Chains A and B, each alone.
Chain A
Amino acid sequence: MKRPDWQLSRNGLFWVLFAFAAVILLHLDHLPPWVTALAGLCILWRVLEYRGRVSFPPWPLKAVLVIGSVAGLTLVYPSLLGLEPMLSMLIAGFGLKLLEMHHKRDAFALVYLAFFTAAVDCIFTQEIPNFILVLVTFVIAATALVSINQSKSRGFSMSPSYTALKMMATAIPLMLALFLVVPRLGAFWSIPMPKNQAQTGVGDTLSPGDISSLVGSDKLAFRVRFDGDVPARERLYWRGLVFSQFDGREWRQADFYGPDQPILSRGSDESIVRLGEPISYSLTMEPTNRRWLFALSTPTSSEPGIQRIRDSRLVSVDRIEQRQNFTIRSWLDYRLEPEGLHPYREEMERHLPPGSNPETMRVARKWASETPDVEALIARVLQLFNRSFIYTLEPPLLGTHAVDEFLWETRRGFCGHFAGSFAFFMRAAGYPARVVGGYLGGEVHPSENFVTVRQYDAHAWAEVWIAEKGWVRIDPTAAVAPERIEMSLADLFDNEDGFLADSPLSLIRFRDFEFVNWIVLQRDYLDYAWATWVLGYDQRQAEFLKRLLGQVSMFRLILLFLVAAGISLLPYLVKWLIIRQRVKLDPRDAMIQIFCAKMARAGMPRRTGEGIFDFACRIAAERPQLENEAMAIATTYINQRYDKRFPQQINELRRMVRRFNAPKRFE
């Protein structure tokens, strides 16, 4: 049998349309424009249909739309199996289904689809504001769910959204308990992630101007929480890339699969001497779409997806496409390859393209013969930098022989210039040298042992190989602008034009105000907590549950759920307890109840639905001796209860009922 409520209510229709519109807005960036247009058109059509302006689309038109959408999707996307094509397909299907939504059943399906597609948005971005938008969409969809269960006759109203919000609020404690407890399984099979956006952060090549372009952005690069105190700022050299190959213009990374086998197998450690105690920290990388991690030298990590590289770096096996957490230990005091380099490597670390930067070559050879001690030579070069170079974000452009021009003519540059020309000089003088890219310092949060590193903290420095000491870090920028090492770029270049050029409204520009600074710190911290506690919760689930429950046993887990349910239902329990204080019966009704009870005891109960007057008449007929009293009670009650003209004399009624006495019938 068809239930009488199979038809969709008007209010339900409105809210389903809202939910759909919200989903489309959420996915505006991920849909081809024509899918958005199609969806918009469907909404419009459905609204016009509702208002009686247009009729339902005839089936040939619907068929054309369906075939057209599928054809369009196959044209736009090379394969329909990815996330984006599937999303587009769902949205297009949603829109077309909207056109023929008349039944409650259809509305349910569409609301479920809205929930699903809204959730898919979290695959694309996991930022807090975005998640809030998804939650808003969820509330709208839940409202649609409630509104389709309302009576058909209702017009548009907000009332279902209150119900939906109330239900959502009640659900939250339980949701948190589930989130904390339910174990996460690994991915069943991999699905291609949405095609990302450009790669960000320090790139895999370094030409002189590269780093200064990063300085324009206050985007987050990564965050680090130290288990102990944060080391001194001048030790926070986050090494990400090692540039060993130079082609006269650009520095590049060496091949990971070279004959010297840079990727270390697990456990082999022979080329590093570690001194002192390690420090441990957890690194939360923002997505870069690249593989390298930024860590303090010399790092190790026991996480499965991480490889160690011979030049003392960590590299993720997969590209970092989402925000990801890594636990790392680093020894800040070390000797890296003190016993010598692999011949292939040594050749590479000394190599210079022939004919490149002749003036520098000449001077370097001359200085090397004048100062045979490598450390003295380094000191001499740094002294040169210190004496006559200027550190600036906006250096003049350089020509073919960039190092020559920089060292002997312009003498104005940024860390990339200094590091690159220093390494070149040292190679020209005959020593293995290379450029290292990464970040320097970061913002240390006073209380939380945690450091936020932004793109403008990007930095480049050099390493020189010295016999028995191994690779030694030399930061020529420190020679030119020692304050760069001690303070962040934000403090250093506060007023220079290039700094934060891409983020004109960044709060960081206004950090001089105490309040703004506070907001920035809080925002950073919130963001960090979000990243570690929500986005990366699966990595700390076991540990956290242990801390929360003391010991993870079935009993305690059940207890946790009971507590959550208790919190959910607390307001309702309180309300119920208040309501339970019984509603006071009208005293006249109470009297009549007593009267009826007396009659029932006498063997003549009042019948269901029998009016009090009818009852009195029946009493008069069946028990004539009670006629007068019963009629008097009935009429007094009726007059007092329903006739406003009679004075309210409850005592009269009470007296009559008290005095009334019905004997059992004797027969």
Chain B
Amino acid sequence: MRSAIVDRALDPAGLAAAVSAPDCGAVLLFVGAVRETNDGREVSGIEYTAYRPMAERELADIVREAEARFAGARVAAEHRVGALAVGEASVAIAVGHGHRGAAYDASRYVIEEVKRRLPVWKRERYADGTREWVHAGTGAASALPGAR
């Protein structure tokens, strides 16, 4: 397993290479990128911030969980922080597995858990010069089972 919170451009091909092996019938790469619109507004970039030591640990936990749930999966994931332009990669997840089904399942598990619990926030900058924190949820502790 490999995971990191980084403040440089991601290297998706490097992550894919890290999980590739002769027993892999499938090497799957997911890349999340900054989109040019959100809720109908024109986005010029996103600034990502993290509670870095916790985010490093939480991402490592998620990757380990994926490898445990989907036996035989090799997983590597990185999340970038800092100021990103439209089209730049914010998250990359690579999974190597003997078969594609488990590779897709493991990749999906990692991105959904990242969205649910990685302590990372983003502030969108809009073409009109304003910026706003993006709030996907309510912030209530009940949103996470472990925090109830």
Instruction: Please say whether chains A and B are actual partners in one complex.
Output: no
A interface residue numbers (CB < 8 A to B): none
B interface residue numbers (CB < 8 A to A): none
